[in-house]
Structure 1
Amino acid sequence: MHSLASFINRMNVFVWLIGIFAAHALLYLFLGTATWLATSLLATAFYGIVLLVAKLVASRYDDREESK
């Protein structure tokens, strides 16, 4: 679990969000979704919240491990 928390703390959220947005935009364009841009932005916003919460939890996990 420590290695997962360490990876999440080291990851660059901005780069991940760019990749997630590009993947969703390509997916929705390929599927022919009329509102591909709005759908891609909403999906990216959702994953952004998930990633930021994961970073918060991982940072608290590392803090707890250091205090032992």
Structure 2
Amino acid sequence: MRGLMTFLNRMNILMWLLGIFIAHALLYLALGTATWLATSLLATAFYGIILLVGKLVASRYPDKEESR
């Protein structure tokens, strides 16, 4: 559990959101979705909320290296 929290603390949210947006945009373009941009933005916003909440929870766990 501590390893997951350390990963969440150190992850770059902006790069993850950019990757998620690109993946969703390519997916919805390949599927031929007419509203691919709006759908990609909504999916990215949803994952952004999940990642930010995860980062908030992870920030409450002390880092193993900092506690020494």
Global fold match (TM > 0.5): yes
- Equivalent pairs counted in the alignment come to 65
Match of 1:21 in 2: 21
TM-score using structure 2 length: 0.90
* % identity of equivalent residues: 78
CA distance in structure 2 between the aligned counterparts of 1:62 and 1:12, rounded to whole angstroms: 18
User: Could you say what secondary structure the match of 2:60 adopts?
Assistant: helix
Gaps of 5+ in 2: none
CA distance in structure 1 between the aligned counterparts of 2:53 and 2:29, rounded to whole angstroms: 29
User: Could you say what secondary structure the match of 1:4 adopts?
Assistant: helix
- Give the RMSD, CA atoms, in angstroms: 1.5
More helix by share: 1
For residues 22-65 of structure 1, the C-alpha deviation after alignment (integer angstroms, 9 at most, x for no partner) is 000000000000000000000000000000000000011227xx
Matches within 5 A, 1:1-68: 1-62=1-62
User: Which consecutive segments of 4 or more residues in structure 1 shift more than 4 A?
Assistant: none
